Amino acid sequence: MSITYFKPEIVSLKSHAEINEKWLQREIASDPTILRLGDLILKDEERIQPTSGRLDLLLQDPESLRRYEVEIQLGRTDESHIIRTLEYWDIERRRYPQYDHCAVIIAEDITSRFLNVISLFNGFIPLVALQLQAIKVDGKIGLLFTKVLDELPLGLEDEDEIQEVTDRNFWEEQRGTKKTVKLVDIMLGLVHKIDPEYELKYNKFYIGLAKDGKADNIVRFRPQKSALRFQVNIDESEEVNQKLEDAGIDVLDYDRKWKQYRIKLTEQEIRDHEDLLIELMQASYNSRH
């Protein structure tokens, strides 16, 4: 099969006679997936802010419920565009702290100077910068969004900590009890059904897992005085929530920051719901390997 090359015509939306920012805003609102940030849906458009101004678009992930505060600018980005984006993101996260929030800045031209400025916020503010390119083909306009700055992913909860190694005795006598630490042994038996090479690694703040001498925490355990706290890093979903609810297991609130389920377990619950616990650990294992 022969492939014919053609040179696309790059169009400046800012200087276009018929297209304006409202047109672009409507196109994104009608199909937020064109941003390639996931299967997002439109939550609100021209959202009035309590102080002043209007947020161009508020998008949301229907599964994680994460919200994206989107500000659009034709042509080159500037200081006011950046400040406005961050201000609206901050207002929304303060008004609705129950959700995770991410600021999204869109412009046709994000210069290296402003990219350097924006990148200074990365790691402190969840921020994504998308550079827009409009292409004209057969009289029609196509839109391409390129991610020139991605939000700095958070490390796992313990990756940046200097872990103080402890031992089993520390957990039996100071943090938990011999009975609740024994529950960790039972859970390790379930882990071995996924990979028999894992062993326990006793740290000051949790009991993790290691393989071939290296930490590999597909799950973490925190024995307490009356029960075992079990943490597994997987994405939140309605399916998992329903399975946990049907099992009657004591689930603490889902930690969206670290993307982990936090579950309290008794020995009887471990015995009764062995298959479900293995399923959760297998999902975490698959996401890391």
What percentage of the chain exceeds 70 in pLDDT? 94
* pLDDT on residue 19: 82
Joined tokens for residue 64: 């994680």
User: What does each of the 289 residues of the chain score in pLDDT, given as a tens digit?
Assistant: 678 887 778 888 888 878 888 999 999 999 999 999 988 999 999 998 887 789 999 999 887 788 999 999 998 888 888 889 999 999 998 888 888 899 999 998 988 887 888 777 766 788 999 999 988 888 888 889 998 888 765 444 444 444 567 899 999 998 899 999 999 999 999 999 999 999 999 998 899 999 988 889 999 999 998 899 999 999 888 899 999 999 999 888 787 767 889 999 999 999 999 999 999 999 999 988 8
Domain ranges within the chain, ordered by starting residue: 9-149, 168-288
C-alpha 60, offset from chain centre: 12
The CA distance from 107 to 145, in Å, is 9
- Fold classified for 9-149: Trna Endonuclease; Chain: A, domain 1 (3.40.1350)
Q: Which phi-psi region, left, alpha or beta, contains residue 23 (left: φ > 0; alpha: ψ -120 to 50)? A: alpha
Task: Indicate the fold that domain 168-288 takes in CATH.
Answer: Aspartate Aminotransferase, domain 1 (3.90.1150)
Indicate the residue type of 101.
H
pLDDT per residue as tens digits for the range 55-114: 999 999 887 788 999 999 998 888 888 889 999 999 998 888 888 899 999 998 988 887
